[in-house]
Structure 1
């Protein structure tokens, strides 16, 4: 997070590249997963303390909002539980073919917004 934020604050343009540029190892046990997420959370909070996106010159208002949202994530339990569960849900969903319509997207979006507001 810090690298992208500091590059954007200096005026560099960033973009999405749709190819694998690096490969990493996934945690093999639940305990390793907890350790990994703990490191990620601590790292994001340390970045916020050292380079607070709200006061970093060079970032647009939208970039500041998005970086604050990324940091904010690590402070709320409901959202963290959703993050832990997401890998299991994705594996289950890909096992089944399902159809999606506008109504189901709105219902899912509403559930996510509701769980986020409970976390606050």
Structure 2
């Protein structure tokens, strides 16, 4: 068993695609019209055949309260690995990314949490 696809709910797919590609550095893999929405996935340029992240529309009525509750409690919707949390934090801040948690070194793990501009908190992390 393996993970091939996971998703984050986004308020605006076009805005999400710009943020996840232009700012975070992922690459668009699939962009297929599906009614009023799109099957829109991104991948890491380091693993283009690896797991895909679906930028899923937030249209279902349960999604809004779910996302609001996660953000209110400071819970990230997803976590992405990086080689150096401190360097990535500085790079992303230079792009205007807002962080809700600066880098925290907690023994064998370093984390930071950012706002993806699409209604989610995203954690970046490095496990030693």
Same-fold call, TM cutoff 0.5: no
Q: Which structure carries more helix by proportion?
A: 1
The structure with the largest alpha-carbon Rg is 1
More strand by share: 2
Which band: TM-score by shorter chain? under 0.3
